[in-house]
Structures are given as C-alpha cells and as structure tokens.
Structure 1
Amino acid sequence: MIYSRNAFSAADEVPMVCVEHLEGAPLSFMTTVAALRMASLTEPAAVVPTTTRTIKQFGRIRLPGAPWRYAITSNGGNILVDGVPDMRWRIDVDAQVRASGATLSAVSAELRARVDDSWVTKFRVADHLFCYLVVKPKAVPEGFLAEWDGWCRRRGWSASQQGRKIYTMPRAVCKSRAVAEVRRRLWESGELVGEAETLAAGDGALDAEMLRAADFAIRPRHGELEKLNWTHPNLTVTRTSGILAGEEIINWFIKGAPATSE
C-alpha cells in the first residue's frame, strides 16, 4: 500500500502524498488518488492494517482512514486494539513459539554465526519475536537463503527474503492467525454481519498464508510473490507494478471481491 522512492517504477510523475517520515525525512508514499480512496474505504469495510513491521515501525505510518480499531503488526505477533497491544494475544503467541521449536536467542545466535559485514548491513531483533537482516542483495552468498531456511524449518522457523531484508520467523507467528482472530472479534461485537467476506492484499512470502486464507486476495505484479510466480484460485494479480499497483489494489478493495484473474 505504501512505497519508498526506490519502488516508484514508472510512476514518477504521478501526484503523491507522504505517509511516513523517518527522523523528519519523507520515507514512504502513496499516490494522491490512492490516499483519497483509502480514506473512503473505512466507511463500507472494517479495514485492518496488517504488516510485518514492528509496533514502533507501524507507528511511523499515517495511513488515510485512521484511527484503526484493530491493526496487526510483527507478522501477526501483535494485535493492536485502539493502538494498544493486546497482551493476552501476545502471551498466547509467545507460548506457541516456545512450544513449537527453537528459541529466538538460539536462532539469532546461529544466524549471527553465518553472516558477516561484507553482505549484511544490519541485524535486527523485532519485538522480541523474530529477527531479520538488511543485506546487499547482490552480495548475498549463493544458496544462503535456501540453506538457512532448511536449518530453520527443522526447528519450527522459516526464512524468506523481501527486497533488502531476510526475515527469520517462527512458523507459529503468521498474519493469517491474527486476521482470523480479529475477524472473530468483529463478528462477536456485531461490527461484521451477514455474508461479510475477507479481502486481503500482500506481496511477500510472509503474506502467502494470509492471502490463501482470505475469501478473495490480490497481489501486485512485483515483489517476492511475483518472483515466485505465486498464485492461488482466489487470487487476482494487478496489471500495474510499483506505486500504481497500490492504487489498483485500493480500487479492487472498493469494488469488493471481483472475479480473480492473472
């Protein structure tokens, strides 16, 4: 939904608005049309921003349509209710992670032993849940990701790459579970009624399960899922790429579950 200048593709001349600043500098953008339409999307739908970003990173974003009743951060590890982390959800997630495999400290130590400064610029632990690397993509050793993912999967974790970031994630932490929980709460509160459907959008491997679980899903014609040529019977793929794909996705949401297409 939001894009850095490096991801603008062919849309450089399209009017844009900044929706995220870092240390006072503009960082992420939407087209002006996308911003206006997203603000209107909250009227007919229960919009739930869902991201792999940490709580702090999500807090930098000023998406049109806020404030949000619910938001999902940390790849599903945290549910924010009126901006406040739901500790009951987080306690349950932490228990599932402990029961399903290796600890974060063990995984982090193993990962640190496998990397060096020649191709890694940052090593981060996110919300005490998972870790990720910021890398020089062309300098990543051949076969590193596949080998590291194999090590992780034997221990209840997985690894995937999204642009300059390589995520190492407990398999118990996923967006689809958090989305299902928020949907359950919305039904119980009466905010969802009738035949309300779940529509989802995403572009990375960490989004795949969430897209698969939705009634209808959409992904842009760029990003990790595009490189993987990932598809599913419920999936629409945008015609455009870059920041214009964000605008197309919002139009798709507004229309509501169009026929899927490639």
Structure 2
Amino acid sequence: MATDLDRTMIYSRNAFGPGEPETVCVEHFEGAPLSYMTAAAVVRLKELAAAAAVLPTTTRTIEQFRRIELPGAPWPYAVTSNGGNILVDGAPDPSWRAAIDAAVRAGGASLAEVGAALRSRVDDSWVLKYREADGLFCYLVVDPAGVPDDFLAEWDQWCRERGWSASRQGRKIYTMPQAVCKSRAVAEVRTRLRAAGDLEPDAPTLAAGDGALDAEMLAAADHAIRPRHGELEELGWDHPGLTVTTATGIRAGLEILDWFTAALAARLPALARGAVAEPAG
C-alpha cells in the first residue's frame, strides 16, 4: 500500500475542508503545529501498518519527511523526494540514489541548468520562494493569483524537451526530472519485499494520491484511490479502476484508509475480526 502524504494522509488547517473533526497534530515546524490527521485516521493507519506493508510515498525531502510523526512508525521503507530517495529503516539507500542520479544525467539537462532557466523566467511579483530539493529537483512557492496564465504550459514544454516536466500543486510549481518518479521507487520496494518474503507474490499494489506527481503511481497500481480534491480533481484525472472518495478535505484521509482496510480484509478475513495478520500487501 503506497500512499502520498500531504493532502492525502495529512492536512494543514487550511486544507481541512468543512466541519471540525477531532484531529491529532502529526507535524510541528519551528515549534508550531503544521499537519494533522483525524483521530480516527490515526487509529486506522496504526492498524494497517501492523497488518500490512504500508509505504509512505512523498515528494517531501528527507528532512521534511522526518518532521512528521506518522502513526505506524517505524517504517522499514519510505519513499521521499518524489522517488529520488528510498529510506531503509530511516536511512537513505545509497545504491538507489546513485542509480537515480545516473538516470537523471542520462535523461537530459542538469538541475543547475534547469534551475538557472527557471529563475530567469520568474520574478518576485508572484514568486515567493525558489527551492532545490535533495539535489534532485526544484520548485517555486508562488502567489497563485499572480502566476501568468501561460507560464506553466510554456515552462513544461521547455522542460519536456530536456527530460524534465513541470506541474503545479496548490502554491507550489514543481520542476522534476522524468527519471524521478514515485512509481519506480514503489516498484523497487515491492521487489525487495517480495524477495525478502515479506510480501506475497500475488499481493496487489494499492496506491493513493492527490497530485499530478502521483498520477503515474496511481496508474501503475493494481487498484488506486484519490481524494475528491487536489490537483488531480481539478484536472478531472481518471484511470480504469480508479476510486474517488466521497469526502473532501481531511475526512478524505480516513475514507482512503477505510478503502485500504477493506481491500486488505478481502484478502485477510482475520483482519476484519480484529486480528493482526502477516504482511500481505
């Protein structure tokens, strides 16, 4: 089970949506609360992590991921940096990162080249921050109202000619090498779990995510779910077998976990009776 985090599992207050559910803070930044889950979702994620192979999968950097007190830890594996890093027992896997770096070099432009081209196209009237993430990709934090109408499409076209792509998620515009993607890292972790005997050979891959950077991971999964909010919702993104939540905002996180639980219980009826089962997918 591979799940995106921000606006899929965890939510800032601005992303809560309607109502006031009971919540638990799962991330602090500079001493202030930042990200939350519903209290029910906290319980459900702990149950799933005890019974199945759950894989946190995020575009966050390693440092940003480590800020989260995600229920169900410690995680044998986690995917950060949009697939550019795989954490094994919390530590970056150097062999995976070396392979990613080689693929990026072979695929086209360097981060330095892309970053310079991006900075030459923007200005402070609508860009609040420019950031580079784990030496892999870059992103802008923007004022959404000020972004020129044609900027993203033109920038994405420039990037695709050089082995990169651009997408927008909320207040961030990501510029990503095409070699860096969540689906490849998820497939690698699945291979390792099967080789170690920690995952049944026929266990399906389930995935959840809300943004354009999650689309390839959702499409590659055997079964996938996305919330009824976020970038994919705005794009009207669909795929055969895709489930879309009924809920929006933070309540969608619990609905996604309920969907994961139902899928697991269908394979492991003991889970539905409250028993903890062996890892199975």
Q: Give the TM-score, by structure 2 length.
A: 0.90
TM-align CA RMSD: 1.2
User: How many angstroms apart in 2 are the aligned matches of 1:173 and 1:247?
Assistant: 29
Residue identity opposite 1:58 in structure 2: F
- Tell me if 1:68 matches 2:82: no
1:155 aligned residue: 162
CA deviation after TM superposition for structure 1 residue 193, in Å:
1.4
Size of the alignment, in residue pairs? 258
CA deviation after TM superposition for structure 1 residue 149, in Å:
0.2
1:134 aligned residue: 141
Partner of 1:43: helix, strand, or coil?
Answer: helix
What per-residue deviation string (whole Å, max 9, x for no partner) do you get for residues 138-162 of structure 1? 1101110000000000000000000
1:2 aligned residue: 10
Residue identity opposite 1:132 in structure 2: Y
CA deviation after TM superposition for structure 1 residue 258, in Å:
10
Partner of 1:114: helix, strand, or coil?
Answer: coil
What are structure 2's unaligned runs of at least 5 residues? Answer: 1-8, 267-281
2:183 to 170, 176, 179: 176
Residue identity opposite 1:256 in structure 2: A
User: How many angstroms apart in 2 are the aligned matches of 1:194 and 1:142?
Assistant: 47
Write out the 4+ residue segments of structure 1 that deviate beyond 2 Å after TM superposition: none
CA deviation after TM superposition for structure 1 residue 43, in Å:
2.4
Residue pairs, 1:113-262, within 5 angstroms: 113-256=120-263
CA deviation after TM superposition for structure 1 residue 194, in Å:
4.5
1:29 aligned residue: 36
Return the structure number with greater relative CO, CA threshold 8 A, min gap 6: 2
User: How many angstroms apart in 2 are the aligned matches of 1:96 and 1:254?
Assistant: 36
Q: Give the TM-score, by structure 1 length.
A: 0.97
User: How many angstroms apart in 1 are the aligned matches of 2:51 and 2:167?
Assistant: 34
Tell me, yes or no, if the aligned pair for 2:194 and 2:201 is still in contact at 8 Å. Answer: no
Identity of aligned residues (%): 70
Tell me, yes or no, if the aligned pair for 1:121 and 1:133 is still in contact at 8 Å. Answer: yes
Distance change in 2, residues 1:215/1:257 (3 Å): farther
CA deviation after TM superposition for structure 1 residue 195, in Å:
2.2
1:79 aligned residue: 86
